[in-house]
Structures are given as structure tokens and as C-alpha cells.
Amino acid sequence: MTATFPVTPFEELMLYQDSRAYPCVCFIRLRFDGALDREAFEVAARAALTRHPMLSATVIQRRGRPCWHSVDQAEPAIVWNKAVVSEQCPRADALYLACKAGLRLLVTVDRDHSDLLVEFHHACCDGQGIFQFIHDLLIAYANETAEALPGLTLPTLDQDRLPQRGSMNLTVFRLLKMARKQSVGLLGIRQFIMRAPQPLVPHDRYPADSDPPDPYPALCAHHFDRGTATAFRTAAKRLGVTANDLLTRDLFLAIREFRHRDNTGGEDNASYEKEWLRLMIPISLRRASDRRTPAANVVSSVFLDRRGVDMADAEQLLESVKDEMNLIKRLQLGFTFIFSLYANRLLPGGLRRTAAGRRCHTSAVFTNLGKTLAGGPLPKSEGRLVCGNVRLDHVEIAPPIAPYMCAAFAASWYAKRLSITLHYDPRPLTAAGAVELLKIFVTKIRQSVGHAEELLAV
């Protein structure tokens, strides 16, 4: 049985942003203690994929518009490699939705460890969506191994909810209720258009048909221990902000310091400090009723702009981030970006023009997926999931890179530990530069913990 259904504006934007030079592809890296069993893994992947049609769909053209074409009983694309598991990611290729599904699983296994790189096209689903699939995959794998425990059941999903994914649960009543609030979003759109944010590292975009980055993906990550992660959450509470507010502030400070160290601004530091930097922050639009929706995009983006001079006072910067994020939540401005996509779809050139990326629109991405794989029936060892004959030790998340945006950061909490991952473009940003940038961010996070403890001692 096959099905064809429309592409939402957000999905269409992701399709048009995709190119050979800048694949619109995300990655989740799962690092296991123990060797995954190939036969059990392939059976589990097949079972999990049947529950999430967006991950097996391809894109076809109908009346000049893209739409999804889903096929039952699709086979998952799995690349199996027996080699020593290391910090280096396996090489990933682009995902061309015109001829292949938007999911690929790259597995590296040695005698004692396994590395699973989940590669997925952002047009298919968002970060929360892919973790639904991963959760199903781990449970299905545990059920296929000899060490499987009774009672490991998959959560209930309703595939009939997929056609509603583009509505974002917006009824006519909710739209009317939001109309006045969205007037504030119009000011944000004006600022988005009028300001000219700068890349982290000055560079020109590469031609869309040029070679992809090498290596790809280029990742580096830091995993805080449980004590530091707990102390950071406590620090945010003591400072009267959310953990996400504090991480956002620390990332702004890290970017500013990195650019100073790199002497990006040249000799005219006064002018340099007045340049705009823009963080794109994905924001989930899911409601409780979406828990039964299979993997999909139910997400938007908000944009935070700051100049170097706005970061001179770290406490004031934190207060401004808190105030702006509270305003976004209170006025539901996460919908503003989605509404703008609907509007741009109607203009000449449509979303293809919007996705062209002729100048820098975003300096960096920062996504915080919060607690990952926290629920479910799988047993745990020291807070880590035990999936049959393997234990999941670490999770790393990598959003896509894009023209003029050579750094994409992700934060996640797994087994009560905080992990920070940097996906970088190795063409303008060297590996050494990426490691330094991540190290500065980690240092800022540790300093936030120390500062909060000092305030408590006063």
C-alpha cells in the first residue's frame, strides 16, 4: 500500500535548503558499550521504520509542487562496518529524497564497543521526532536479543495523525486568539530583515553543486559528569533562569571570546563589537496530543540577535536572554516563523527564493533537546539504558550546517549528564578552531556553575 500527502511549508524550506555543498541533514550519534548483533539490529530497524512513515518516504513532484510518497514495508538503509570504534565519525553521504528515503543508519562495531550514527534529512522530521524512532529501535533491538526482558512494549502511535502535522494544532479559535500577540512577531520579522548578522568566521558560501565538507560530518563533543550537570541545573535555578537561558547566554559569551581570540574583527574592535550575531534556536510546537504522532516536523525557530557590546556585562546579557525567551513563550512567537513561511510560499519565487541563502542570516544554531530517552520500559545501569546485550553510554546530537553558518551546537541530557555537541563546517572552521570554540563554551558553562555557588555563599 502506498500513500501520497502534501509537503508542509517547513518541510518545503528544508527541501530547498538542501544542496550537495550543504546537505540539510541531521545526525544523532549513539555510543554503546558492547557489540551490536547485526541480525537482531536489522530486524529491529525494520520493525521501527514501519512505525514512522516519514522516514521511509521519498519526494515526488505533483502539479509542480513537491509531495511525499510513502511505501509500506520499506527496507531501512543500513551501512555495517566492522572496525575499531573511535572518535572519528564514519563518512556520511547526502540523502537525495527524490530517489531514496531520508534515513540512513551507519553502524561501526568492534569486539567491545559499537557506534551508531543515525543520519536523517531535516525535511522528514525534527530532533524530537527522530528520538521517537530511536526509542522504538532500541526497544525492538532489546526484544530481538537473547538477553531480552519480558514486557518491553513499544508505545502506541497513530499514523492517521501525520496529515495534521502541518496544522500545528491551530484551530480557527486559537488563530484568532493569537492574532494580537503575533503583532509583536512582525517587529521581529522587521529586525530579521534589516539586520545583517555576521558569520562566526568570515567566509563566502560555496557553490551549491560543489563537493560536500570533508570530513562529513565533522563533530566534536563534551560530556559533563553527573555532578557538574546537576550543579549547572542548580546554578540556573539560583540565578532565576532556565537551564536553556543560561546555556544560551554562555554560548553568546563563548562566540564573542572565540572571535576575539581569532582576531576575526581585525584592528577596528569598536566597529567589530557593533556587528550583529544571530543564534537560531529551534522550538518545539508539540502539545500533549502529539505524543502519539509518528516522527515528523512539529517545530519552528526563533532568532536571538546580540552585538559584542551587548555581551560586555554577562549578568545583563543573561537577564536580556531570559526576558526575550519569556516573551517568546508568553506571546507564542514560535509560530511567527511558521506563519512567515506560509506567507512566503505565496510570493513570487516562493520558498525556493527564501532558501537561496545569498547572505548570512544566522551566525550559529543552538538546539537544546532536553532529556533524551528518559522514559520507556528499558532497564538502566548507572542511569544508562541497557538494550539487550549493549548499554547506551553517550548520545551526541548534530543539527545541519548551512551557507555562512559554520557551527551548529546541540545540548542534551542523558543519564543525568549534560552533553554539548558541535557540528562544524571544516572548510571555513578548522578542526583545531572547532575544538577551541567548544572548549571555550565548556569553560563558560563551568564558570556559570562557579558564579552561582559564589552568590549562594554571600
Selection from 322, 287, 437, 301 nearest residue 366 by Cα? 301
Which pLDDT value is given to residue 452?
63
Give the total number of structural domains in the chain. Answer: 1
Boundaries of domain holding 389? 2-154+170-457
Instruction: Answer whether residue 243 is part of any domain.
Output: yes
Which pLDDT value is given to residue 64?
80
Within a 13 Å sphere around the CA of 2, how many CA atoms are in the beta-carbon half? 9
Residues 6+ apart with CB under 8 A from 385: 138, 373, 378, 379, 391, 392, 415
Instruction: Answer whether residue 45 is part of any domain.
Output: yes
pTM of this prediction?
0.94
User: What distance in Å separates the CA atoms of residue 457 and residue 219, rounded to the nearest whole number?
Assistant: 38
Instruction: Answer whether residue 165 is part of any domain.
Output: no
Q: How many residues does the chain have?
A: 458
CATH no. for residue 451?
3.30.559.30
Q: Bridge-partner residues for 413, per DSSP?
A: 371, 418
Instruction: Answer whether residue 162 is part of any domain.
Output: no
User: What distance in Å separates the CA atoms of residue 236 and residue 241, rounded to the nearest whole number?
Assistant: 5
Tens digit of pLDDT at every position of the chain (458 positions): 467 889 999 999 999 999 999 999 999 999 999 999 999 999 999 999 999 999 999 999 988 889 999 887 789 999 999 999 998 899 999 899 998 999 999 999 999 999 999 999 999 999 999 999 999 999 999 999 866 677 788 999 999 889 888 776 676 667 666 666 676 666 777 787 788 899 999 999 999 999 999 999 999 999 999 999 999 999 999 999 999 999 999 999 999 999 988 665 444 566 778 899 999 999 999 988 888 999 999 999 999 999 999 999 999 999 999 999 999 998 888 888 998 899 899 888 889 988 887 889 999 999 999 999 988 899 999 999 999 999 999 999 999 999 999 999 999 999 999 999 999 999 999 999 999 999 999 999 999 998 766 666 54
Instruction: Answer whether residue 161 is part of any domain.
Output: no
Which pLDDT value is given to residue 367?
98
* Cα torsion 78, 31, 258, 231: sign: positive
Report cis status (omega within 30 of 0) of the bond before 217: yes
C-alpha cell at 71: 511505501
* Helices 226-238/243-261 angle, 10° precision: 100
335 near 10, Cβ under 8 Å? no
Instruction: Answer whether residue 384 is part of any domain.
Output: yes
Which pLDDT value is given to residue 334?
87
User: What distance in Å separates the CA atoms of residue 204 and residue 182, rounded to the nearest whole number?
Assistant: 34
Instruction: Answer whether residue 101 is part of any domain.
Output: yes
Which pLDDT value is given to residue 106?
98
Q: What is the DSSP string of 211-252?
A: PPPSSSSEEEEEE--HHHHHHHHHHHHHTTS-HHHHHHHHHH
Instruction: Answer whether residue 163 is part of any domain.
Output: no
